[in-house]
Amino acid sequence: MNCLMCKSGTMHPAVDSYFAKLNGCYVIVENVPCWKCEQCGEVVYSASVMEKIDDLLEHLEKIASKIFIVDYESAA
C-alpha cells in the first residue's frame, strides 16, 4: 500500500502511540497497531483499531484525571 500523504513511500505494519486530549486530560495509548510510511512516517489506523480507541477514550473520559498512559494490548 502506498502512503496517502507523500505518495511515494510504502506503508508497513507497525505499532505507535496515540495521543488524545479529553476535557483537559491527556491520554497516551501506547503500542497501537497501525500502518506507518517508511519514508515520511505518516501513521494510519484501521477502522477496528479506531473503534477500540474510541471505546477506551469514552471509558477514560468518565474517570478522567490529568494524564493517562494506557497500553493498547492490555486495554483492548
For residue 76, the model assigns a pLDDT of 67
Q: Within the chain, which residues score under 50 in pLDDT?
A: none
For residue 75, the model assigns a pLDDT of 79
The answer as to whether 40 is a domain residue is yes
How does pLDDT run across 6-27, given as a tens digit for each residue? 999 999 999 999 999 887 788 8
What cell was used for 29?
Answer: 495509548
Predicted TM-score of the model (pTM): 0.78
The answer as to whether 68 is a domain residue is yes
CATH number of the CATH domain containing 55? 3.10.20
CB atoms within 10 A of CB 20: 16
What cell was used for 30?
Answer: 501506547
- Look at the chain and report how many structural domains it folds into: 1
Is the CB of residue 31 less than 8 Å from the CB of residue 44? no
